[in-house]
Structure 1
Amino acid sequence: MTSKLLHGRELNGKFFASNRGKLSFEEEFQKIQASRPDIWRYRGTDNVADSTLEQMLIDLQTPEGQTETDFLLAGGINGSLSFLEVGKDGKHFDYGVTCIPNHVWPSGRVNLSNGGVAPQHIWRPPGASVQTSSRISSLKVTGKYSSLATGDASRAQHALITTLGSEFSGGYVYILSLIEPIDVTSMIPQRMHVVAPFSCTIWTADYNSHTSQAVIGTNVGAALVNVETGTSSWVCHCKSDVLAQQFDQSGNLVLCGLRNGAIVTVDVREKQGVSARLIKHRIPYLSSERSGRKPWFELKGHISLSSTVHMPSSISSLASLQLYDQYFLASSMDGSIKLYDHRLTKRGAVQSYDGHINSHTRIRLGVDQSERFVMSGGEDCCLRLWSIKSGKLIFEEKFSESVLSTICWRRSERGGDGRLTYEEELYGQCPILGAWLGSQEGIFHMQWS
C-alpha cells in the first residue's frame, strides 16, 4: 500500500484521486504508519498512571547545572502522584529506579523501519512522588504548548491536580508550581499546595490559562475556582454528576458532561446584579420513554439550552479541537464516540467512531497534535485509533491485561503540529509520532515513524 502511495505522489503530487474522492498523500501515509505501530510496556510502573497521565517539559536542577528535561506526571487510583523523567536514565544521580521498556506488540521482531528507534528509559527519582488522601481524579498541565497551530513547545508553568474525595472527606484542588527549576530530590512536596478543599466529590477539572481559573466537576454541579486566591463560586447546580469538562478556546464557556448523558454548555463569565443568580432550567431528555421517570431534568446555571447534546449514557470524556474550534469529541459509557459541531448540535453528531467497548468506566480520549487521530482504550483491554475526519478505525489490538484508561500524546520532537514538510514527504523522513498510555498494568509507549 505504501509503494502505491509513493507511486501516486510521483505522478500526481500531494493530492491524488481515488474512489473516495480527492485524497491527501500526507494524510493517507500517516494513516498507514499509524496502523503499524510498535508498543512497549515499562517494567516497575504498575498502578502509577491508571488515573491520569501528562507529558511536560520542565527545567531540572542537577549537580552539573540546569537542563531542559521531559517528564511524565502520573496519577494513580491509589492516590499517588509521581514524576518520571524520560530518557535521562538517572545519569545525574546514583539512586532512583530505572524502568526499562519491553516490546509487547507486534509479537516477534520489533518494527523500526524508516529510522524509528526504541523508546528511552523512564527514571523514577527518589522524593519525586507524594501520596494524597484519595484517588487523583484529574490532572491538567498549563504552558504545555504556547501554540498548537505552530507547535511551539513551552515549558510547563503549573499543574492543576484534583482528588476525588473519600467517605471521610471531600475532594481537594491542588496547584503544583513548575516555574522555577525543579530539584530532582524534592520535586513534589515542596511545590504542591492546596488551593481549595471541597465537601463534595470532585470528578474532573479543566484550567483556563487566560484567567488563572479552573472549573471543577462534582457530584452536585460545577464550580469556578481562582487558583491564585482559592476563592470559588458555583456556576452550575445539578443532581447529575459532572463527569467530564472542557473549556472552549475563549475561556468563556465550559462543556459539562453529565452522568445522565447530557452535555451542557455553561457560560462562566462573571455576572452582575440580578443576572448573577443561577437560572433554573428544565432540560428535556432525548426520549420521554424513561421507564416512568420524568421526561426532563433540572439544573441551575447560565446554560445555552440550544447547544445541549444528549448521548445514550453517562459521559466518559470530552475533547475540544483547537485547530477547528467549533468541534468537540465526546464519548459515553455505552461505547459511543462522536464528533459534534457547536453550531449544529440540533442536527446531531457530525461523525461517529465505531468499535469502542465500554459499559461503566471513565476512559479518556486522546487527540494527537495534528488533530487527525483520536485514540481510546476499552473495557475489552483493546486500544483503538480512528481517523477523526473519516471515522475509519485504523488500529485495534489487545496488548494489555487491564483497561488503558489514560492517554497522553507524545510531544513532537520536531516542535511542529505533526504535519510533514515537503522534504519529509519527498524523502520519507518522517518524525516519530506516538503516545503514552496508562493502565493498572503499567505505562505503555506506542510509536510509529
Structure 2
Amino acid sequence: MPKELPGFYYDAEKNRYFPLKGPIPGSSRASSSTTNTQNPAIKPTQAINFCRKTRIRISKLLHGRELNGNIIDFNKGKCSFTEELLKIQASQPMVWKYQGTEKISDGALDQMHIDIHTPGLFEVGKSGQHFDSGEKCIPDLVRPVVEVNKAECSKAPGHIWRPEGASLQMSSNISCIKLFGKHPSYAVDDCFSIQHALLTTLGSETSGGSVFILNLVEPLDLYSSTSIRRMIREVASFNCTIWTADCNHNATLAAIGTNLGAALVNSETGTTTWTCRSKSDVLAQQLDQSGNIVLCGLRNGAIVTVDVREKREGFSARLIRHKIPHSPLGRFHQNSSKQWFELRGNIYPSYTLYMPSSICCLVSLQSYEQYFLASSMDGSIKLYDHRMTKRGAVQSYDGHVNSHSRIQLGVDQSERFLMAGGEDCNLRLWSIKSGELLFEEKFCNSVLPTVSWQRAEAYVKIPDENRSYEECLSGQKHSWGAWCGSQEGLFYVHWS
C-alpha cells in the first residue's frame, strides 16, 4: 500500500499521486465545517484578519514581478501582478461623507451625466450654508481616521451642490433607478448614449406603484422645479407594490417585479404585458443582454427564468401554469419534505434555483453573460452559471450580514469587485473571481442599502500586462470609486 502524502491522493489505476483540490463548485464544504468544529475558539473575524495578514505585500509582489514577469509564483499558486496589485489597493480605500445629505440616498442611487443651465457660481460662505440657489455639501474624510498627507487629500471628491429647484416629491418611496441604453462594461465612454432613465415608486397605503421615464436629453434648469417635472413622464401606474425594475439596452421595455408577479412595460405607450404571475413577491429582477430572458428572485427564495418574447397583454391573459418543487430550507435533502408552489408564465422549470431565504438582489455579469450574482436575506451571496444551475454556485462570498433588508449589490465596470453594505453597518468588498474578502469596516451608524459605482468616461477594461507599475496605477485610478447611500447620508469610496 503506497504511503500517504499530505496534500496528495494515490490513484491505484494510474499508479501515481495527484494533488488534492478544493471542493467542487456548488458542493457542501465539509472540510471547512470540520475545521470549525475542531477549532471552535476561532471566530469569523479572527479568520478574516488572518487572511488579511497572509495577503501578498507590495514589496514581495514587485520583487516577484522583477524576477518572473507578470505571472508570479507564490505559495498559494500562480497569480497576476496586476490583479494582486488591484486587490491590495482595494483593501485600503478612502471614504468621504457628505454633509447635509441625510435621507436622500437610502432608497435608490445611480450616477448620470446630464447637461444643465446654470449661471456662474462664486466660492463664498461656509460648508452647509444655504445660498439663494441652494446648498453646498462638503465631503468629510471618515476613513482612514489617521492623518493623511497632502497628496492623498488632493484626491478628495468635489462638493455636491443641491439647488432648491432640483428636488421633486414623489407620491411614494423610490424603489428603483435604472439607466436606459447602458453600454457593456468594456465601452470607452459609458455616458454618451444614456438619454433616458427608468424610475419606479414603491406604492403606499392609498395608491400602488408607478413607472416613470426621466428624459436626460434636454438640458436641465436647476432653478425651476417645473423643468424637472417636464423631464419626468409617468408611463404606467399599478394597483400593486413595485419592488424592483430593470430595462433593456434600446430603451423600449422596462421589466418590473411586484407583489403579484413580473410584467413588461412599453416605455413609449405604457402597454403592460404580464410575463409571470406568482403568489410570492418578485423582489429582484435582471434582464439578460439580449432582453429575451428575465431572472426573477422571489420572496420564497426561488430564482426563476422567464422567457419574455411571447407577448400576452393584459392582467388576465392566460399564462402557462407550472408547479415547481420547493424546499423550505432552500435546498433539497433526502429527508426534507417537498413543497410545491405555483407559477404562471413562460418559465423554464429546469433552470430554477433556490436560496435559503428571500432574494434581495440579482446582478448579471456583462463580460460573462451566463454568470450572475444573487443575494438572499440570510446573508448569502453567490455566483451562478446559468448553464449549470443544478451544480450549485460557482463561487460564494462569505462575511455578508443580512436578515430582512433589501440591500443592493454593486459591481464595478471591470467586474473584478463586488461591494455591499450589511445590517451590521459594515461595508464589504470582495474579489468576484476568488471570493476573497478584501475590505470590511464600519464608518457609518446605519445600514448602507444602496451602491452605485462611478462610471469612467475613458475606461480600459483589460489593462496591458506589459505596462510599468506607475502606468498600471494611472490607467486604473479613474474607475475605482463608488457611491454608497444610507439614512445617515451619502458616502464616496475611492482608491487609486
Q: Which AA in structure 2 matches 1:443?
A: L
Q: Which residue of 2 aligns with 1:45?
A: 101
CA contact (8 A) 2:454 2:483 kept: yes
Match of 1:366 in 2: 410
Structure 2 counterpart of 1:441, from 488, 491, 495:
488
Aligned residue number for residue 376 of structure 1: 420
1:141 equivalenced with 2:143 (yes/no):
no
Asked whether the 8 Å contact 2:421–2:448 carries over to 1, the reply is: yes
Q: Say which of 198, 216, 234 aligns to 1:160.
A: 198
User: 1:308-387 counterparts in 2 under 5 A?
Assistant: 308-387=352-431
Report the residue type matching 2:493 in the other structure: M
Task: Judge conservation of contact 1:220–1:237 (CA < 8 Å) in 2.
Answer: yes
Equivalent position to 1:185, from 217, 223, 233: 223
Structure 2 CA distance for aligned equivalents of residues 157 and 136 of structure 1: 20
What is the number of equivalent residue pairs in this alignment? 420
Deviates more, 1:127-136 or 1:279-288: 279-288
Q: Is the CA contact 1:152–1:416 (under 8 Å) kept in the aligned structure 2?
A: no
Q: Aligned runs of 1:407-422 on 2, under 5 Å?
A: 407-417=451-461, 419=463, 422=466
Alignment of 1:302-313 (within 5 A): 302-313=346-357
Aligned residue for 1:97, secondary structure, equals: strand
CA pair 424-51 structure 1, distance change in 2 beyond 3 A = farther
Distance 1:112 1:43 in 2: 22
SS in 2 for 1:165: coil
1:13 to 50, 69, 85: 69
The residue identity in structure 2 corresponding to 1:437 is C
Correspondence for 1:24: 80
**Deviation larger for 112-121 or 12-21:** 112-121
The whole-number CA distance in structure 1 between the counterparts of 2:445 and 2:390 is 40
Instruction: Give CA-to-partner distance per residue, 1:112-167, whole Å, 9 cap, x none.
Output: 76896111111112211111111101110123x43422332223311111111111
Q: Give the one of 115, 120, 129 matched to 1:59.
A: 115
Alignment partners' CA distance in 2, 1:163 and 1:420:
43
Gaps of at least 5 residues in structure 1 are: 65-88
Q: Does 1:255 align with 2:295?
A: yes
Q: Distance in 1 between matches of 2:150 and 2:375?
A: 33
- Counterpart of 2:477 in structure 1 is 431
TM-score, normalising length from structure 2?
0.80
> C-alpha separation between the residues in 2 aligned to 1:260 and 1:422?
49
For residues 181-227 of structure 1, give each alpha carbon's deviation from its aligned partner in whole angstroms, at most 9, with x where no partner exists. 22222352121111001000100000112361001000010011001
CA distance, structure 1, for counterparts of residue 431 and residue 407 of structure 2: 18
Structure 2 CA distance, aligned partners of 1:208 and 1:284? 31
Assess if the C-alpha contact under 8 Å between 1:288 and 1:295 holds in 2.
Answer: no
Amino acid at match of 2:191: S
Match of 2:344? 300
**Alpha carbon RMSD of aligned pairs, Å?**
2.5
Change (3 A) 1:206 1:410: same
Return the offset for 1:272.
8.0
Higher strand share: 1
Asked if 1 retains the 8 angstrom alpha-carbon contact of 2:180 and 2:251, the reply is no
TM-score w.r.t. the length of structure 1 is 0.88
How far the C-alpha of 1:413 sits from its partner, in A, is 5.0
1:214 alignment partner, SS class: strand
**Are 2:241 and 1:201 equivalent residues in the alignment?**
yes
> Residues 290-325 of structure 1, C-alpha deviation per residue, up to 9 Å, x if partnerless?
x99971110100001111110000001110000111
Q: Distance in 2 between matches of 1:298 and 1:439?
A: 36
The yes-or-no answer on 1:33 pairing with 2:77 is: no
> Residue 178 of structure 2: SS of its match in structure 1?
strand
- Secondary structure of the structure 1 residue equivalent to 2:491: strand
* 1:363 to partner: Cα distance: 0.1
Question: What residue in structure 2 maps to residue 245 of structure 1?
Answer: 285
The whole-number CA distance in structure 1 between the counterparts of 2:464 and 2:412 is: 14
For 2:214, which of 155, 176, 189 is the aligned residue?
176
Counterpart of 1:321 in structure 2: which amino acid?
A: L
Deviations 1:367-411 (A, max 9, x none): 011101111100000001111011110000000000000000112
Contact 2:70 2:466 in 1 (8 A): no
User: Counterparts in 2 of 1:91-130, with a 5 A limit?
Assistant: 95-110=133-148, 117-130=155-168
Instruction: Indicate yes or no: 2:271 matched with 1:224.
Output: no
- Identity among equivalent positions (%) equals 61
The residue type equivalent to 1:97 in the other structure is E
Q: Secondary structure at 2:86's aligned position in 1?
A: helix
Letter in 1 for 2:398: D
Taking a change above 3 Å as real, the CA distance of residues 417 and 255 of structure 1, as seen in their structure-2 partners, is same
Structure 2 residues not aligned, in runs of 5+:
1-56, 121-126
| Structure 1 residues 379 and 315: CA distance shift in structure 2, 3 A | same
Match of 2:438 among 352, 370, 394: 394
Cα displacement string for residues 242-295 of structure 1 (whole angstroms, at most 9, x for unaligned residues) = 00000001100000000000000110003489xx84110011114578x99971
Deviations 1:16-66 (A, max 9, x none): 1122322111110000000000101000000000011101111223347xx
3-state SS, counterpart of residue 406 of structure 2: coil
SS in 2 for 1:53: coil
Rounded to whole Å, the distance in 2 between the matches of 1:293 and 1:42 is 51
Q: Is the 8 A contact 2:273 2:312 kept in 1?
A: no
Q: Distance in 1 between matches of 2:104 and 2:300?
A: 30
Distance 1:246 1:188, change over 3 A: same
Supply the distance in 1 between the matched residues of 2:105 and 2:339 (Cα, whole angstroms): 39
Give the conservation status (yes or no) of the 8 Å contact 2:370–2:386: yes
Name the aligned partner's letter for residue 322 of structure 2: H
Rate the CA distance shift 1:38–1:395 in 2: closer, same or farther, 3 A: same
